[in-house]
Chains A and B, each alone.
Chain A
């Protein structure tokens, strides 16, 4: 149970609530017993099918009933119908699950059933157009999942479903349009780490397929991130993404440039934890990976230790981590 407030009821309110719940409970148990009995006796009638609809509206988490419904599709409903009728039947279940998702956006069983429906969309409408039904269904799905992400931009069920839809579409949109989608989501809210995550996946694909020039694209990403950092330097989403970018373009000049730029931000926001955390991270990278290009290594080491001491003060819950990093730097430095 998440986010349901504990309420103190008056005696009268408690009695009224009990009565209401009692009536609901009686109706629920009667329906549930009926459906389970029909399932056990392998009832594949239309009436049984309608009863599962009613029960699932009351309790969409009852996965055994979704299973029963799927058995009815496979064993009884599909074999009696033409592809066009099967397509319509599944489209009705997609409407039902969309309606349920609007009320219960995080119920696994509803998302799961939606996917099952997609996997059973028949070929057609004609031999010349075997992907016709699928194409129009998948296009609708992309629309549905965007609605779900408009309502809650962090819903991981919806993001997972979105990736699934894009990966299985008969005629997928160009991957660059997904990059544009993440840009829109990020610009609407820089704190949307789900969108940054998706962006990292899309970019990786675009670099691997050569659709985007890796070096040029990383440059552009640094610009996007810089805007976000200046907008809210306390937002960890942006800094985690920045660390990923550095990992992909880890060369001395870039590190030096980012260090200078973050230092400027820190000068404006002298208590910014994430500026300090990132400076330590990137200065350590310079020391570890680019030692040959370093003029004054000692200055970098001293600056890391100074930043870590300050982090310890402004972020006491994580002080042990800062201490361990400082110990690591000191012992690494002594060894050389």
Chain B
């Protein structure tokens, strides 16, 4: 009834196109603080489904530029919203995908990003000081895309990640925090970009990641928690960087992701029967791409962007996903 054994690409493309048309929906407005991320999620999902042109390039770039906050030298998530590292990374990723980085003032954005590094090595999200390894990853990813990594104090940055490492091999949001698959991904991907995978206890971490798979095929983010489609990407991308995707059951995970599709209106939800959103749609599609699902475009698990684009910029790291299936 609500599940399918196939990825419903045309339906998901229409779903993503329709997201900007929901302006009489309260949820659309309540999530304005995530709009820039949502545009990046939607665009990347379209790229992976090989429908990059389904959203207008010019309109997308104009939206991104309308969120530029000149006093800060950074992007907000929506016009009139404050600048923050998360929408700034999404804006850069969108502009890279559309080959429009020339629209931004690279030295100023670089300065904004570097100004958020704390003495401990972690990054704050904005001037109000919330810290998180997510922000550290955002900074490293953005600086790398802008070709400004040489300005980063790598030793200080890596030292913070090292202190977040737990006995289970995983990483948390801050020093002392419990391991969580999303934080594992940001730390693993940041270390991959910085060529410092030696920090990771690879056998222990890959073991912990493999144990995220539940009997129904879905992945959870921590021991004894429920499965959720978004962990398909966070666990799989980390396993790809460690070259251990084969340590989980790809077929069962593929079926689980497909079963969370909304077969009427498109989009993918956290789990079967729930309301879809663009966040779970990109991470479901990206997970399927890493699993070698036929017909999809390769995603780079380190940058969460189209792999050929990252490769063309000379940024590809030594990750390994499953080979693309013919059908």
Tell me the A residues contacting B by CB distance below 8 Å.
1-6, 21-22, 24-25, 28-29, 32, 36, 39-40, 59, 61-64, 67, 70, 108, 112, 115-116, 154, 156, 159-160, 163, 191-194, 197-198, 200-201, 235-237, 240, 243-244, 247, 316-318, 320-321
Contact = CB atoms under 8 A, between A and B. Distances in A.
A25 B26 contact: yes
Contacts of B24: 22, 25
Given A2-B270, A24-B26, A236 B176 contact: no
A28 B275 contact: no
Contacts of B31: 61
Given A3-B270, A36-B80, A236-B224, A156 B177 contact: yes
Contacts of A1: 269-270, 274-277, 279-280
Interface string B210-228: 1101000100001111001
B130 interface: yes
A2 B283 CA distance: 14
B227 to A, nearest CB: 12
A49 B81 CA distance: 17
Contact of A160 (B168, B177, B210, B225): B177
Interface centre among B81, B208, B279 (most CB of A within 10 A): B81
Contacts of B279: 1
B210 A197 contact: no
Nearest to A323: B246
Contact of B128 (A112, A236, A321): A112
B275 A4 contact: yes
Interface in B265-299: 269-271, 273-277, 279-280
A28 B25 contact: no
Interface centre among A108, A112, A236, A317 (most CB of B within 10 A): A317
B50 interface: no
18 contacts: A1-B270, A1-B280, A5-B274, A6-B269, A22-B24, A25-B25, A25-B29, A28-B26, A28-B29, A32-B29, A61-B31, A62-B33, A63-B81, A70-B128, A156-B222, A197-B178, A197-B179, A318-B247
Interface string B184-218: 00000000000000000000001110110100010
A322 B244 CA distance: 12
B252 to A, nearest CB: 6
Interface string B1-44: 01000000000000000000000111001111100000000000
B224 A235 contact: yes
Interface string B71-102: 00000100011101000000000000000000
A193 B222 contact: yes
A24 B26 CA distance: 7
Contacts of A247: 167
A28 B16 CA distance: 25
B26 A6 contact: no
B211 A236 contact: yes
A64 B29 contact: no
Given A5-B275, A160-B177, A318-B247, A29 B224 contact: no
Contacts of B280: 1
A151 B190 CA distance: 34
B275 to A, nearest CB: 5
B166 interface: yes
Given A1-B269, A25-B25, A112-B128, 20 more contacts: A1-B277, A4-B275, A6-B2, A6-B273, A28-B26, A32-B29, A36-B80, A59-B30, A64-B80, A112-B130, A156-B173, A191-B223, A194-B178, A197-B178, A197-B179, A236-B223, A236-B224, A240-B168, A240-B223, A318-B248
Contact of B177 (A61, A159, A321): A159
Contacts of A160: 172-174, 176-177
Given A6-B2, A316-B249, A318-B210, A40 B270 contact: no
Contact of A321 (B80, B82, B223, B247): B247
B160 to A, nearest CB: 15
B300 interface: no
B30 A6 contact: no
A1 B270 CA distance: 8
Contacts of B273: 5-6
B26 A21 contact: yes
Contacts of B84: 63
B168 to A, nearest CB: 5
Contact of A67 (B128, B176, B213, B252): B128
Contacts of A193: 178, 222-224
A244 B31 CA distance: 41
Contacts of A25: 24-26, 29
